[in-house]
Amino acid sequence: MARAQPQDETPQREYDEIPGVTPPEQTRALFGHATARDAVLDAHQEGKLHHGWLVHGPRGIGKATLAFDLARSLLARSSDQSAEVVSEQIAQGAHPNVTLLRRRPNPKTGRFGTQITVDDVRRVNSFFHHSSARAGLRIAIVDALDDLNRNAANALLKTLEEPPASSLFILIAHRPGTVLPTIRSRTRSLSLQPLSPEDTERAVTAQTDTDDTGDLEHALSLAHGRPRKAFEVLRLTDSAALDALETWLSHAERHSGTDHLEIAAALTAKRDSGGFHLALERIADWLAAETRHAALTRAGGRWRLESLLALWDKAQALAQEQQIYNLDRQQTLLTILDDVRTLPRAE
């Protein structure tokens, strides 16, 4: 089976880190997103670099990887250090001109929080108000805006309204529609799209053992331009349950009332396998496709479209509640699948 390459034992950096996959700050190769990258670097070259950039697009397409690539490139241009030193310091989280805002682990329990808090944002603000140890830009990367609670978002907004000198904010968002309009209005938008099949394969094979091309091809077929999803599929010890979900979704209304029980049980059997999150992503993709089809063709009538939209909102809320309150994953998945099964038919 194709596997992510093993790495040295290091503390977990991200709450959703995939073991064996290089974290964004240490990833030196950027695949795709050349247009967005050039937009920022060209603005800097012309002396028109905006202080805030909103990098948004589907989860797992390389937004954080782009953010750190930009940080390395911009500091190599404006710093008094070599590009190699800048790159190594950023990889180790030790560059004095770069700060990262993401969900942090509890120092006592080691468990990651479910939100970025106002105290976290205040630490970023403090970073900008202390004297810099190095020349060049001072960069804050927020990964991701989706994790900020309301007070944290408002605190960040105040800094964006009166940005410190030589500051740059790279704000990552998986769902830009949930970002405060006032934050969007004070940043320049960089809309990223899923990678091409070629770039997706390059990004994945750069970190995998490709002896078993069948597993790799299967993972790439499910990735849809999102390398992260391919890595998650490769981590599954048995992807049969994911294939079963794919088949079930294609004819959900025709199945008996018990088929989805086995699928949900298999996908949530191992907590760290990634099956639960893969299932949620696949259901979200299916709902999005079905909603577009219903809107364009009116298949199933107004009731199906309204039901699809309502289930999309419900599924997102259930997933968020499960994460915040550590609810039973199998029951969460079953609840969503039950509602999928009872949607009005498309015919």
pLDDT in tens, 193-206: 999 999 999 999 99
Backbone angles phi, psi at 170, to 5 degrees: -110, 105
Q: Are 102 and 115 in contact (CB under 8 A)?
A: no
Q: Which ranges constitute the DSSP H helices of the chain?
A: 34-45, 63-78, 83-91, 118-129, 150-161, 181-185, 197-205, 213-223, 227-235, 240-250, 259-267, 275-297, 301-325, 329-341
> In this predicted model, what pLDDT tens digit does every residue of 104-159 receive, in sequence order?
988 888 888 889 999 999 999 899 988 777 888 999 999 999 999 999 999 999 99
Cα atoms in the Cβ-side hemisphere of radius 13 Å centred on 163: 19
Mean pLDDT of the chain: 90
The residue written with tokens 């329990």 in the block is: 109
String of DSSP letters for 297-317: H-TTHHHHHHHHHHHHHHHHH
Range of lowest pLDDT (4-8, 32-36, 50-54): 4-8
Q: Which residues contact 18 (CB under 8 A, 6 or more apart)?
A: 4, 228, 231, 232, 235, 274
Instruction: Flag whether pLDDT at 188 surpasses 80.
Output: yes
Burial-class residue 245 by CB neighbours within 10 Å (0-12, 13-18, 19+).
buried
> In this predicted model, what pLDDT tens digit does every residue of 251-309 receive, in sequence order?
876 766 788 999 999 999 877 668 898 999 999 989 999 999 999 988 777 889 999 99
Assigned token pair, 181: 């309009």
Cα atoms in the Cβ-side hemisphere of radius 13 Å centred on 256: 5
The residue written with tokens 């603005």 in the block is: 43
Looking at domain 33-191, its CATH superfamily turns out to be P-loop containing nucleotide triphosphate hydrolases (3.40.50.300)
How far apart are alpha carbons 139 and 75 in whole angstroms? 9
> In this predicted model, what pLDDT tens digit does every residue of 204-260 receive, in sequence order?
999 887 566 788 998 999 899 999 999 998 888 667 888 899 999 988 767 667 889
Average pLDDT over residues 42-53: 97
Q: What is the pLDDT of residue 238?
A: 65
Q: What is the pLDDT of residue 210?
A: 59
What residues does each domain of the chain span? 33-191, 236-341
pTM above 0.75, yes or no: yes
